[in-house]
Amino acid sequence: MRWNVQRSTTRALISLAVAGMIANGCQAEASPTPTADPTPTADQTLPVLTPTVTPAQLGTITLTDTGCSWEGNPGSSSPGSATIRTSNDTDTYAKFFVHRLRDGKTWADGEAAFTALKTGAYWRDPRPPVSDVATEGFAAARQGDRLEFDATAGTYGVICAGTNFETRGVLTLFLVGPLVVGE
């Protein structure tokens, strides 16, 4: 940024010199105009460009009235920024919750907790005792969303819920996965 300021200063000085020459009737003894040094010196800093990180695209989750599917689930992924697209193909409001199993828990533990959730357990505390929510997304009827999160090592699943927006009642509830993120 400093280099650009000096370039702007140099341009301003050149403009002043030209204006002075015009004001003095373009006399032969005009003072030399300063020029910009194209090579930055040690006290000049160039802007540092940081590369943009493209999140890993982990497929699309689609909620219907009869189920939830995860097309393109790679099954495994490397740690880092991740995105899952969502599609709500229902006439209701949808919620999507990406859960990461806690250390020491298995996919079978997650499925058992999900079954308990479907039967009414955990509704006062919607965090099943085996996982933590990594991110969540919402989509109106016939709309989509993106679930963006930092995928750290562990096993992930996504809970898809069709809900009544006005009453917040759950109409459908499904689990898709797993996705295993390596070290």
Average pLDDT for 1-28? 42
Amino acid 28: pLDDT: 46
Distance of CA 145 to the CA centre of its chain: 12
With helix as H, strand as E and coil as C, how does 93-109 read?
EEEEEEEEECCCCCHHH
Beta bridge partners of 60: 71, 85
Amino acid 164: pLDDT: 83
Share of the chain above pLDDT 70, in %: 67
Per-residue pLDDT tens digits for 132-147: 999 999 999 999 999 9
Average pLDDT for 100-112? 95
Whether residue 30 is predicted with pLDDT greater than 60 in this model: the reply is: no
To the nearest 5 percent, what fractions of the chain are helix, strand and coil? 20, 40, 45
Closest to 176 measured CA to CA, from 60, 66, 56, 69: 69
Cα dist. 6→13, 45, 70 in Å?
10, 11, 54
Amino acid 116: pLDDT: 85
Beta bridge partners of 151: 80
Whether residue 1 is predicted with pLDDT greater than 70 in this model: the reply is: no
Top-confidence residue, 180 or 25: 180
Per-residue pLDDT tens digits for 45-99: 666 666 566 889 999 999 999 999 999 999 999 999 999 999 999 999 999 999 9
Is the link from the previous residue into 178 a cis peptide, with omega within 30 of 0? yes
Whether residue 14 is predicted with pLDDT greater than 80 in this model: the reply is: no
> What domains are defined for the chain?
1-42 (no CATH), 57-181 (2.60.40)
131-139 vs 93-101, strand pairing mode: antiparallel
Amino acid 165: pLDDT: 76
Averaged pLDDT score across all residues of the chain: 79
pTM for the full model?
0.68
CA–CA separation, 20 vs 59, rounded Å? 65
Backbone angles phi, psi at 36, to 5 degrees: -80, 135
User: What residues have CB less than 8 Å from 58, skipping those under 6 apart?
Assistant: 72, 73, 74, 77, 82, 83, 84, 179
Top-confidence residue, 178 or 55: 178
